[in-house]
């Protein structure tokens, strides 16, 4: 390795915590680290920014690394991403160019906790009432919360997270039903969920619909505007998975027309959500800035493993290589 410090770029460190949760002192003298707070979506600007760096640290999928960008980064040798799966990185193309992609473990149950934070916050209008109290609204209460007991929670996807979500729903005495393109009655039964044969039936029957699918070419726009239109006027829609799984324009229209009671969203087509996006102006939606995976426990693992991965790479013994 060169005697000159290796240039490392830490991307999208919104909360400036990469050096709080990771002990970078073990790399002292071996690297020169530059930290960037804002996300760049323009590929020309991003290529110009990253061109000098040998190592880039990616926080989840905040910055995308398609083949076209990788081809413009001649010095890049390692992408250290958080988590062991990142749909925003063309891992196969990186490998073909001799660029290693290494991931990390995770800690805690942050996403599960956030799913229920959004469900409860949306059902009980927490953000609206909080804003009203702080604004010194004369009217003490302005909304009627939706009770969960006896209601039907519809899960689009019944994998690990979907199954855990179902367990908690039962503590609220909810009925839980599930559908996905490949869900079988046996798998639904194992998760304690009632199998629903069609997406349309799930949308019609549910009082709350929650998405628990991985984004892929097959699941992009899986939930259309027509699907959303099948929901009850009193129903709530929750998405903590990925924005493009849902037709965002269709969802905005449904909410603007008040065809459903509301939505709780943690994920969007473009992140950060543009300042002029119509979702920012709606009162029947509870928004969070893609924080489902964010917690102190998760960050401790993310950043400590990121530092380990860089050290291992510099030592010629890379760890946690993604294939």
State the SS3 of 73-121.
Answer: CCCCCEEEECCCCCCCECHHHHHHCCCEEECCCCCCCHHHHHHHHHHHH
Sign of the Cα torsion 67, 69, 73, 77 reads negative
Q: Are 245 and 271 in contact (CB under 8 A)?
A: no
pLDDT given for residue 91 in this prediction: 97
Maximum Cα interatomic distance, the chain, rounded to a whole number of Å: 67
Q: Please, what is the average pLDDT of the chain? A: 97
- pTM score > 0.85 for this model? yes
pLDDT given for residue 3 in this prediction: 76
Q: Are 267 and 62 in contact (CB under 8 A)?
A: no
pLDDT given for residue 251 in this prediction: 98
**Other Cβ atoms closer than 10 A to 204:** 15
Q: Are 204 and 231 in contact (CB under 8 A)?
A: yes
pLDDT given for residue 27 in this prediction: 96
Q: Give yes or no for residue 292 having a pLDDT over 60.
A: yes
pLDDT level of residue 155 (50, 70, 90 thresholds): very high
Determine the average pLDDT of the residues in 146-165. Answer: 97
pLDDT given for residue 1 in this prediction: 44
Residue 34 phi/psi, 5-degree rounding, is: -115, 130
Catalytic residues: 242, 271, 290
């Amino acid at each position: 390795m060169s005697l000159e410090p290796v240039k490392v770029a830490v991307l999208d460190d919104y909360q400036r915590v990469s050096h709080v949760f990771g002990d970078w002192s073990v790399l002292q003298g071996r690297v020169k680290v530059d930290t960037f707070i804002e996300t760049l979506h323009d590929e020309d600007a991003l290529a110009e920014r990253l061109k000098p760096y040998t190592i880039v640290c990616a926080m989840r999928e905040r910055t995308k690394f398609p083949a076209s960008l990788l081809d413009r980064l001649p010095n890049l040798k390692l992408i250290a991403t958080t988590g062991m799966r990142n749909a925003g990185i063309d891992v196969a193309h990186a490998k073909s160019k001799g660029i290693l992609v290494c991931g990390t473990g995770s800690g805690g149950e942050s996403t599960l906790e956030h799913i229920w934070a959004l469900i409860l916050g949306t059902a009980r209008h927490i953000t609206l009432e909080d804003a009203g109290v702080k604004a010194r609204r004369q009217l003490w209460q302005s909304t009627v919360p939706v009770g969960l007991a006896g209601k039907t929670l519809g899960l689009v996807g019944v994998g690990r997270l979907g199954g855990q979500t179902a367990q908690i729903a039962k503590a609220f005495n909810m009925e839980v039903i599930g559908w996905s393109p490949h869900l079988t009655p046996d798998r639904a039964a194992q998760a304690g969920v009632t199998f629903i044969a069609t997406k349309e039936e799930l949308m019609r029957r549910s009082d709350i619909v929650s998405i628990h699918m991985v984004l892929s070419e097959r699941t992009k726009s899986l939930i259309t505007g027509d699907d959303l239109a099948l929901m009850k006027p009193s129903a709530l829609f929750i998405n903590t998975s990925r924005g493009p799984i849902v037709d965002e324009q269709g969802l905005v229209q449904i909410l603007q027309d008040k065809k459903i009671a509301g939505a709780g969203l943690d994920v969007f087509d473009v992140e950060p959500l543009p300042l002029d996006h119509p979702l920012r102006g709606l009162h029947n939606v509870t928004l969070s800035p893609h924080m489902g995976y964010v917690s102190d426990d998760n960050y401790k693992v993310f950043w400590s493993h990121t530092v380990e991965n860089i050290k291992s790479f510099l030592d010629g013994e890379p760890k946690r290589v993604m294939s």
